[in-house]
């Protein structure tokens, strides 16, 4: 099993962290290949960044040899691009946003998402809605820390716990870490809060393995039919 | 990894089929233990059967040694009991209804469910609603075949394809097999229809492995806190 | 008119209280027969209890002579079993959860439910959803008192008023007492709060009389068709 | 018990029919007083008629002595005015639209409404939504017969059965008669269709008795607080 | 372009203010004609007033020469009557409630409404729901000031800002002024709050111009078909 | 007033058509400037194209002098990018998808959308959902004609009428033309169908004028706050 994990931004350091998180979560025998888009934002924090990231990630994906991978994981929490990747590829595509939500639904009656800046909350909600897993989500709460400010683990943990407590008050029984850059902090936060904490990268890697393992591939009829042949210019 | 799979009815033959389906879907190294409740209906087709089944399956589960298993799969499509099992156990519990829906959401924009008798459609819808995965479901359609009438594989396949076409007309891009007794027919139907077909038992086994593999356990706060100590009489 | 009222737990004292509440609410000429299930939990506080209770109450109901009654009231707030009872019987079945909500909708634009432990709130919400009366409900709030701790009327009243005030802040204009064990406290709380307070047992008895009085019976097509003949084992 | 039933239009013949239906449905000892508004449309079939009717019915209600009645039934299916009457009066107000839906929810998992002209379907849907009972409704279907064309009982019955069959195909297990002028046809249609048929006037009379019998009155806080004292001119 | 703007109450002073607001918002070349209903409430604050107002405004509209106007604006925030006016007239009808919401949706992801008394919040919510623009509304909050108490501009501004801050906390990024009597305060409040503030009268005038300018007229099929010819008495 | 209209694809001919449609719809005194993105797909028919288009259009927009325009119209029906443009610019941004829906809501109780290929229906639904105007939409139906196949006006009109009739059967009272390439066909289709037909380009131009005319600008708090300063690479 070989899974391609794409970072949604151009920050190589984050790709490394995501790769490490993916490897830690993968089953024995699964190979993780992490890639960074050649262009796009250095971090995605809002719709402008997200649309730019989507095009850059799709540009990356159209360049790979699909036969070398069993599945793709899109490691941008709340970022756009998911449905386009499903049109482009026949192998399964799993986005870390939906993946975390799917697992969270199995662990408690309601879940909540802690993320970076509040400005991205709406985008995450929309992504969960489109993925069909919004009903059991009680909210998306920001920590006030930007994507590239998550390095100070102590500060990040403290901010995550504060945000998670607000979700708890709204009825969340499970917490989702809403940024690929938070990968690896799930156990620490879980211990502190006493609730299950789901990391999207880990969830997505396992779900990608699951789909590939069961020989399930993206539907080719309707929404995700292969893109029509036409002229597409990918940059100026 | 050791997973307990519980049939929801007392028909041993179905337990065997479920066990075979679970084994075929499990990852290498996963041991499947299938159990039949000691009481309940011989097949579950409606609410009366489902509530009876729920109590019988919970009676079974309270008797197991939780430490011997890594996760539990409830192999009754649309049947009740799921939330009670989550209160009872600390290891993850995955119901085949929700499991199939979770995977279906990853494979197409909309999915539909083919089931046995139309009378159970409403119960399945309610189960998907409670699990938080109803929004992308376009409908639940019956084949007119009872749970114990699925033995004639040719007739069953033909009825499934007819029902699945109705869902296709409503926009389904993925089909879910809505009965544990249909386990094993997914590839045949998928080939005939040209869309991905998800089998709940297979989906649930893999999701159970995923949760256990990531050390994720049912939330112990709120809804699924352990049952309060009290007198409970499990039978007359 | 003869109405069967079933307690959802095995505590005889509660059956007596429910019976008294039902009698106080019934029209002149209506006979109330209250029954306690022969097995099940001594109180229902969560899904495990609720599923156990559902099977035990259905076991009770399959043993009665349907011709001796005009309607059945299920006196377990938020408990499962309702739809199974409708399959089993042709006479009308009214659950106190839905009954209270139906009347509450007629008395104010939004209503709220005060219940025992917070852990049961989700189950009550799900029950209201399935019954089709959730939209005008602003929330279900627990008092922190267990079903068998409601005996101290002063403490219970005080806890109910506190919980009801939280619902008032969310826009509730009517309050529903969300436990059969709270029967009889409606007027006291109503006076203290200055809003209508609906007791489920009273509501259900009157709605059962209404359906029977209008010769309305449960639909026999679709969801609540009579159970199929098959082997069902009701206990080990 | 004394219940005021108001027709929503100025056609005296319909008031008589409504009165007869209300009397047939009332409990022994309940006195029915039927009134016709002094102005308004001769039949209500659309929003213009409905708003005109609402003002005329409220004009009627502000002239009654509230102490002479125990409850009010508004006998206009889908017509406006309900919430205004609740502000105006302290005794319970029950509208036949919501009343029929409340009872229908108790008799099957899904219900549908047959009405007069298709143009009124949307208004009825909106009324059910506001009343909080829309979720279990599968649709509102017109017969093509205007309110004042219901006199030919044979033709009306035939049109109702045709419309009800369309609802049945959408999953309706219970049928609601969506016009006060259809009062009295419920049993005939029920026999022909083999499903429970609910008449709004009968339902509302019984629900009004229920609320009054339980001493439940409209909430005086929030939405339905008494109208503020001010100058109101009720006509040119 | 000639637009008729109808006040929903009988207070001439408010008609003048609405007229001034409409003129200030209108495009060059648009003539505004403001009218006061000949009867109805002196202010509309609740359902009783609203239904009375609806009939009075429709009475006014049936008396105009439709050919003299290009569109109609209904200047009652949250008041009833809109759909009736659409049946009555072929020229476009725009209600200030929906108009403000439509523009608000274009300016931020979520909006909120500040209104007069809390008792009218529910009615406004219902009006937004029926108009199809409720999803992005985070709430309707009252200022505690009645319609005729808005004259003290300082006090009103202060109350509006307080209410708007509550909406901001719920995620509103745009504020709607929920009363025709608040017309003209939008810029002041916008400056104070730092968010766009939409006035319904201004929004509706521009939307009316837009529809008329594009030769778009109310659909004559289905819901808003012309009223059937029949006897209608508009007053006692 | 000067409005920038951006085509979503690289086909200059379509930009010309959109420009002509925009001019025909604009008020006197409004100048229309139409632009074509320097890169992207030659037509947008699906998510891959849409995400590529979104980045290309945002790249175009970041290069303009915002002070030269009063508003921006995004002329891609159902295409992504809208929210990013709102972050990027302070002047109002109106997308033709939402614009058409906003006007359609004012003309009938329910509307429907006719579009090009069925594969884009889901994307349009999602766009309407996010814009907050999905509730009154009965569906999005494809004509089977691709974006670049709309040139044969006779064939296109015929396909649009066929698709619109399907929407009519679902209750649509207003039809929206769901592709910028259909601009100019609204009156023809309207005449043939007898219902109002809304063209998104025309609707968006007028709404852009409205917002600019009322000095309303995109909210700068929350979701659409200006993009954070950071490194963004717009192409390889």
Report domain extents, chain E. 2-95+203-224, 97-200
Q: Using CA atoms, how far apart are residues A221 and F118, in angstroms rounded to an integer?
A: 10
pLDDT of residue B155: 93
Q: Where are the alpha helices (DSSP H) in F63-152?
A: 82-88, 96-105, 121-131
Q: Check if the beta carbon of residue C205 is closer than 8 Å to that of residue C183.
A: no
As a whole number, mean pLDDT of residues E170-190 equals 93
d(CA D73, CA D205): 7
* Distance of alpha carbon C161 from alpha carbon C142, whole angstroms: 11
Instruction: Show Cβ contacts of residue A41 under 8 Å, excluding neighbours closer than 6 positions.
Output: A9, A10, A49, A52, A53, F230, F231, F232, F233
- Asked whether residue D42 carries a pLDDT value surpassing 90, the answer given is yes
Provide the strand spans (E) within chain B: 2-7, 31-35, 40-41, 71-75, 93-95, 111-115, 137-142, 174-177, 197-199, 232-233
Least confident among A115-129, B206-220, D80-94, D172-186: D172-186
**Burial degree of E82 (CB within 10 A; 0-12, 13-18, 19+):** buried
Q: What residues of E are in contact with residue D230 (Cβ under 8 Å)? A: 41-43, 49
Measured between alpha carbons, how far is D39 from E232 in angstroms, rounded to an integer? 8
Determine the topology of domain B2-95+203-221 in CATH.
Rossmann fold (3.40.50)
DSSP state of E170: T
Report the residue of chain B nearest A208, measured CA to CA: B106
| C13 in contact with D, Cβ within 8 Å | no
For A113, the 3-state DSSP assignment is: strand
Q: Cα distance from C48 to chain B (closest Cα, Å)?
A: 4
- At D143, the pLDDT band (50, 70, 90 cuts) reads very high
Query: How does DSSP classify residue F228?
Result: P
Q: How far is CA E130 from CA A200, A207, B44, C135, E80, in A?
A: 38, 41, 41, 15, 11
Is the CB of residue A228 less than 8 Å away from at least one CB of chain F?
yes
Q: Are E76 and E180 in contact, with CB atoms under 8 Å apart?
A: yes
Those residues whose C-beta lies under 8 Å from the C-beta of residue E133, and which sit 6 or more positions away, are E98, E101, E102, E105, F105, F132, F133, F135
Q: What is the CATH number of domain D97-200?
A: 3.40.50.12500
Chain C touched by D188 (CB under 8 Å):
no
Q: Which residues of C212-230 are buried (b: 16+ CB within 10 A; e: fewer)?
A: bbbebbbbbbbbbbebbee
Please report, in tens digits, the pLDDT of each residue of chain B (236 residues total). Answer: 999 999 999 999 999 999 999 999 999 999 999 999 999 999 999 999 999 999 999 999 999 999 999 999 999 999 999 999 999 999 999 999 999 999 999 999 999 999 999 999 999 999 999 999 999 999 999 999 998 888 888 999 999 999 999 999 999 999 999 998 888 889 999 999 999 999 999 999 999 999 999 999 999 999 999 999 999 999 88
Residue whose C-alpha is closest to residue B69's, from B5, B22, B4: B4
Q: What is the CATH number of domain A2-96+203-224?
A: 3.40.50.12500
What does the pLDDT read at residue A151? 85
Place of tokens 């019954």: C131
Q: Which two tokens stand for residue B93?
A: 């519990």
User: What is the rounded average pLDDT of the residues C125-148?
Assistant: 96
CA distance D223 to E83: 22
- From chain E residues 105-124, the ones with a CB under 8 A of any chain F CB are 105-110
Which among E229, E63, E207, E221 is positioned nearest to E131, based on CA atoms? E207
Contacts of B28 (CB under 8 A, 6+ apart): none
| Confidence at residue E128, expressed as pLDDT on a 0 to 100 scale | 98
What count of other Cβ atoms lies within 10 Å of the Cβ of residue C19?
20
A107 and B203: CB-CB below 8 Å? Answer: no
C183 near C99, Cβ under 8 Å?
no
H-assigned helices in E70-152: 82-88, 96-105, 121-131
For chain A, count helices (H), then strands (E): 8, 10
CA distances for F119 relative to C103, D13, F7, F113, angstroms? 46, 55, 20, 14
Total residue length of chain C: 236
> Would you call F200 an interface residue with chain E, using a CB distance cutoff of 8 Å?
no
Q: Do A219 and B92 touch (CB under 8 A)?
A: no
Provide the pLDDT for residue F183. 83
**Residues E160-178: what's their mean pLDDT?**
96
C vs D: CB pairs below 8 A? 148
Q: How many CA atoms lie within 13 A of A125 on its CB side?
A: 19
Distance from CA of C47 to the nearest CA of D (A): 22
| Residues within 8 A of C (CB atoms), D 66-95 only | 83, 92-94
Q: What is the mean pLDDT of chain D?
A: 96
CB contacts, 8 Å: F230 with chain A? 41-43, 49
Q: Which residue of F has its CA nearest to A48?
A: F84
Confidence of residue D79 (pLDDT cuts 50, 70, 90): very high
Q: In the numeric block, which tokens belong to residue F70? A: 């009063």
**What are the backbone angles phi and psi of residue A35, rounded to the nearest 5°?**
-130, 150
What pLDDT sits at residue B184? 83
Q: What pLDDT score was predicted for residue E25?
A: 97
Determine the distance in angstroms separating the CA of A187 from the nearest CA of chain F, rounded to an integer: 30
Residue of D59, D84, D119 lying closest to E47 (CB–CB): D84
DSSP A217: -
Would the CB atoms of B129 and A135 count as touching at under 8 Å? yes
How far is D36 from D28, CA to CA, in rounded Å?
A: 24
Interchain contact, F203 vs E210, CB within 8 Å: yes
Of the pLDDT bands very low, low, confident and very high (cuts 50, 70, 90), residue C147 is confident
Closest partner CB to D87 (pick from E38, E46, E55)? E46
Residue E46 CA neighbour count, 13 Å, CB half? 25
Q: How confident is the model at residue F82 (pLDDT cuts 50, 70, 90)?
A: very high
Tell which wins on pLDDT, C176 or E152.
Answer: C176
**Average pLDDT rounded to a whole number, residues D31-60:** 98
Does the pLDDT of residue F236 top 90, yes or no?
Answer: no
Q: How confident is the model at residue D150 (pLDDT cuts 50, 70, 90)?
A: confident
With residues binned 3-state (H G I as helix, E B as strand, rest as coil), the percentages for chain A, rounded to 5, are 45, 15, 35
Which residues of chain C are within 8 Å of residue D135 when distances are taken between CB atoms? 129, 132-135
Q: Is E176 helix (H, G, I), strand (E, B) or coil?
A: strand
Exposure of F165 by Cβ count < 10 A (0-12 exposed, 13-18 middle, 19+ buried)? Answer: middle
Strand ranges inside C43-173, DSSP E: 71-75, 93-95, 111-115, 137-142
Residue from A197, A183, A216, A234 nearest A32 by CA: A183
Closest residue by Cα to residue F202 from F57, F5, F16: F5
First to last CA, chain B: 37
pLDDT tens column, C31-57:
999 999 999 999 999 999 999 999 999
Pairwise pLDDT comparison (F151 vs F190), residue with the higher score: F190
Report how far apart, in Å, the C-alpha atoms of D63 and of each of D60, D235, E99 are: 5, 14, 36
Q: Which residues contact D28 (CB under 8 A, 6 or more apart)?
A: none
Which residue from B175, B179, B161, B169 is spatially nearest to B108, judged by alpha carbons? B175
Chain A residues touching residue F223 (CB < 8 angstroms): 46-47, 119, 122-123
Among the partner residues B27, B216, B221, nearest to A194 by beta-carbon distance: B221
The pLDDT of residue F200: 97
Nearest-angstrom CA–CA distance, F116 and F45:
8
Given a cut of 90, whether residue F147 has pLDDT beyond it is: no
ipTM, two decimals, is 0.97
Indicate the CATH number for domain E2-95+203-224: 3.40.50.12500
Positions in chain A whose pLDDT score sits under 50: none
Q: Helices F96-105 and F200-213 sit at what angle, rounded to 10 degrees?
A: 90
Question: Same topology for domains D2-95+203-224 and D97-200, yes or no?
Answer: yes
Cα distance between residue A29 and residue A41, in whole Å: 33
């Amino acid at each position: 099993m070989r899974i391609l994990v794409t970072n949604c931004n151009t920050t190589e350091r984050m790709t490394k962290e995501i790769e490490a998180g993916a490897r830690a979560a993968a089953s024995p025998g699964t190979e993780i290949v992490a890639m960074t888009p050649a262009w796009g934002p250095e971090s995605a924090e809002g719709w402008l960044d997200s649309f730019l990231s989507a095009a850059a990630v799709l540009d990356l994906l159209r360049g790979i040899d699909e036969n070398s991978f069993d599945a793709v994981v899109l490691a941008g929490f709340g970022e756009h691009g998911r449905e386009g990747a499903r049109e482009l590829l026949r192998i399964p595509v799993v986005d870390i946003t939906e993946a975390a939500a799917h697992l969270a639904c199995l662990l408690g009656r309601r879940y909540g998402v802690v993320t970076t800046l509040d400005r991205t909350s709406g985008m995450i909600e929309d992504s969960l809605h489109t993925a069909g897993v919004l009903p059991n989500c009680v909210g998306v709460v920001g920590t006030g820390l930007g994507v590239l400010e998550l390095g100070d683990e102590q500060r990040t943990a403290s901010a995550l716990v504060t945000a998670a407590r607000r979700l708890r008050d709204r009825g969340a029984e499970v917490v989702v870490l809403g940024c690929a850059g938070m990968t690896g902090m799930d156990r620490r936060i879980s211990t502190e809060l006493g609730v299950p904490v789901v990391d999207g990268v880990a969830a997505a890697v396992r779900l990608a393995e699951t789909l590939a393992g069961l020989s399930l591939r993206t539907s080719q009829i309707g929404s995700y039919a292969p893109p029509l042949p036409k002229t597409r210019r990918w940059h100026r």
